[in-house]
Chains A and B, each alone.
Chain A
Amino acid sequence: MSDEAELYRKAFEREREARKAAEQVVEHHTRELYLKNQKLEESLKQLKDQQRVLVQNEKLAMLGTLAAGIAHEINNPMAFVHANLESLTDYLESYQKLVELQREALTLAPDQQEVAGAKIAKHVADADLEFFEEELPELLEDTRDGLERVREIVGNLRSFARTHTQERQAADIVAGLQSTLKLLNSQFRTEVIVQQELQPLPMVQCNLSELNQVFLNLLVNAGHAVEGRKGATIGVATAVAGGQVMIKISDNGLGMSEEVKEQVFVPFFTTKPVGKGTGMGMSIAYGIIVDHGGEIEVESTEGEGTTFTIKLPIES
């Protein structure tokens, strides 16, 4: 072999060794990457499990809010229905006494009728039966109204939670908004003015139960935002625009700073004190809307109020 060929052979050997070393480095890193990837996959799985638990917690928290509202809503009519029934029981006793006195009078001789008549007149006066007579129809009407309200609340609750399936079906979003608003009546009734501008919407393929959850979330948040403010107003409006339905939920409450606004849909972000909010409500709402092929936007000015706009495709 010539000197030059020998030099080439040596150079070739050196290069080959260098390549082997480089390959070993690559293999080492590839193995590390593989192991790190495995760890990441495990962590991701754990995170997903935890997220599922949090979503469940958020749902339970919402359910708690809802249950408190419903208890209040049902408690009021039940209280006066109960009181009315007590009065009716008293009235019944007086009327039974009257019937008894009249039955007695019928068995008496004519000369004793006058005494019996005086006795009946005394009972009518003592028991104030004239007032009862006037009062009775109103009492029954109130009782019927009260029970009707309870029936309505239960009906709203059923329509709110009607479809607990994953399936989407044609649904009336305005009806969903209305039933959600009625469930929140007790929270809004006195302090908050609810302005509804609900234009009829075409039927939308959706999971109404999920959308109701979003509306409930936005409305409860709006309620918190206007708490204790003068002229507290929450606006709910619907409209159709360009093949989409639009739902606006606005309030004239505290509003949000730019920083808060930017993070409003971020999981775990909350402005509520520790232990009060899970920070998942808005991110779940966002997930539900996006899942329906829609959009949710927020406009807010600190000190003036906030408006959430949801747009959903009619054919989703």
Chain B
Amino acid sequence: MKGVVFNILEDMVTEKGGLMMWQKVIDKAGVEGGYTAVSTYSDDELFSIVGAVVAELDLPAETVISAFGTYMFGQLASRYPVFVDSCDDLFSFLESIDSVIHLEVKKLLTETNLPSISCERVGDDQLVMDYRSPRRLCVLAEGLIYGAAEHYQRPIMIEHPVCMHKGSDHCDIRVQLTHE
């Protein structure tokens, strides 16, 4: 996993619980805890840290991971504004993930485990994202989509009827625009 993901997780934890909490988390996870955005680290290391955060906060893992996704979107958007600036609305941004953003990631790192994402619009208000990844981080993807929706100021509702965690080979993440 890209180091930037670790950095953002650290930012989130220190922002919510201070440096002390981050130190506790990395102690509990049994990792060194120093990461640079431009390197790649093992997935297990990330999962250990997330596990430690979950234990520390005593919240369900899904809640923590989804919240992390939402937070991560904001951070990524501020570090790499070009990706969000080049899309006018939420759906066209989601559609650009595989063809534009992941291509850029490949330029920076020889990352081989990027998820494969394809989007299909169902009418004007609904988009179904087909998510496939050996990491099975569909909940993180959900969080990221919530973060994107916040950025584009479009309230949404997400359903997740088909899921890799329920034995399917992919996830269908259904994004519905809501009109408040």
A residues at B contact (CB < 8 Å):
9, 12, 19-20, 23-24, 26-27, 30-31, 34-35
In whole angstroms, how far apart are the Cα atoms of A23 and B79 in the complex? 11
Chain A residues near B4 (CB-CB < 8 A): 23
Chain B interface category by residue count: 10 to 19
Chain B residues near A34 (CB-CB < 8 A): 107-108
B37 touches A23 (CB 8 A): yes
Chain B residues near A19 (CB-CB < 8 A): 36
Q: Is B59 in contact with chain A by the CB < 8 A criterion?
A: no
Cross-chain pairs A/B with CB under 8 angstroms, 24 sampled: A9-B19, A12-B19, A19-B36, A20-B37, A20-B79, A23-B4, A23-B36, A23-B37, A23-B38, A24-B79, A26-B38, A27-B37, A27-B38, A27-B108, A30-B38, A30-B107, A30-B108, A30-B109, A31-B104, A31-B107, A31-B108, A34-B107, A34-B108, A35-B107
Closest chain A residue to B80, Cβ basis: A27
Chain B residues near A9 (CB-CB < 8 A): 19
Chain A residues near B37 (CB-CB < 8 A): 20, 23, 27
Chain A residues near B19 (CB-CB < 8 A): 9, 12
Chain A residues near B109 (CB-CB < 8 A): 30
Having A20-B37, A24-B79, one finds 13 other A-B pairs with CB under 8 Å, namely A9-B19, A19-B36, A20-B79, A23-B4, A23-B36, A23-B37, A26-B38, A27-B38, A30-B38, A30-B108, A31-B107, A31-B108, A34-B107
Closest chain A residue to B38, Cβ basis: A26
In whole angstroms, how far apart are the Cα atoms of A124 and B109 in the complex? 102
B residues at A contact (CB < 8 Å):
4, 19, 36-38, 79, 104, 107-109
Closest CB of chain A to B159's CB: distance in Å? 35
In whole angstroms, how far apart are the Cα atoms of A26 and B38 in the complex? 7
Chain B residues near A20 (CB-CB < 8 A): 37, 79
**What are the nearest 9 A-B pairs in CB distance?**
A34-B107, A23-B37, A26-B38, A30-B108, A31-B107, A23-B38, A27-B108, A23-B36, A27-B38
Chain B residues near A30 (CB-CB < 8 A): 38, 107-109
Closest CB of chain B to A315's CB: distance in Å? 41
In whole angstroms, how far apart are the Cα atoms of A9 and B19 in the complex? 9
In whole angstroms, how far apart are the Cα atoms of A24 and B4 in the complex? 11
Closest CB of chain B to A236's CB: distance in Å? 54
In whole angstroms, how far apart are the Cα atoms of A34 and B106 in the complex? 9
Chain A residues near B108 (CB-CB < 8 A): 27, 30-31, 34
Chain A residues near B107 (CB-CB < 8 A): 30-31, 34-35
In whole angstroms, how far apart are the Cα atoms of A27 and B39 in the complex? 10
In whole angstroms, how far apart are the Cα atoms of A27 and B108 in the complex? 6
Most buried by A among B19, B38, B104: B38
Closest chain A residue to B4, Cβ basis: A23
Chain B residues near A12 (CB-CB < 8 A): 19
Closest chain A residue to B108, Cβ basis: A30
In whole angstroms, how far apart are the Cα atoms of A30 and B106 in the complex? 11
Closest CB of chain B to A21's CB: distance in Å? 11
Chain B residues near A24 (CB-CB < 8 A): 79
In whole angstroms, how far apart are the Cα atoms of A36 and B59 in the complex? 47
Chain A residues near B38 (CB-CB < 8 A): 23, 26-27, 30
